[in-house]
Amino acid sequence: MERRKFIGRSAAASAALFTPVAGQHLREASPQPESGKSETGAFKPKPTEGVINHSVCYWCYGSIPLDTFLGNIAELGIGAIDLVGPEEFPLLKKHGIHASMCWGAGKGIVEGWNDPRLHDELVADYNEKIPIIAEAGYTNLICFSGNRNGMNDLVGLQNCVEGLSKIMPTAEKYGVVLQMELLNSKVDHKDYMCDNTLWGVELCRRLGTDHFKLLYDIYHMQIMEGDVIRNIREYHPYFGHYHTGGNPGRHEIDETQELYYPAIMRAIAATGFTGHVAQEFIPSWEDKLAALKQGIEICDI
Domain count, the chain: 1
In a domain, 5, yes or no: no
pLDDT the model gives residue 2: 60
In a domain, 66, yes or no: yes
Q: Report the relative pairing of strands 80-84 and 140-143 from DSSP bridges.
A: unpaired
Tell me the pTM: 0.86
pLDDT the model gives residue 214: 99
Which CATH number belongs to the domain containing residue 275 in this structure? 3.20.20.150
pLDDT, tens digit, 9 for 90 and up, residues 76-114: 999 999 999 999 999 999 999 999 999 999 999 999 999
As a whole number of angstroms, the distance between CA 70 and CA 88 comes to: 11
As a whole number of angstroms, the distance between CA 266 and CA 51 comes to: 10
pLDDT bin (cut points 50, 70, 90) of residue 19 is very low
pLDDT, tens digit, 9 for 90 and up, residues 238-282: 999 999 999 999 999 999 999 999 999 999 999 999 999 999 999
Between the alpha carbon of residue 222 and those of residues 84, 195, 261, 289, 291, the distances in Å are 25, 11, 12, 25, 21
When mean pLDDT is compared across 34-43, 113-122, 229-238, the lowest value belongs to 34-43
Residues in the chain: 301
Which residue segment(s) compose the domain that 166 sits in? 46-299
In a domain, 208, yes or no: yes
In a domain, 137, yes or no: yes
In a domain, 29, yes or no: no
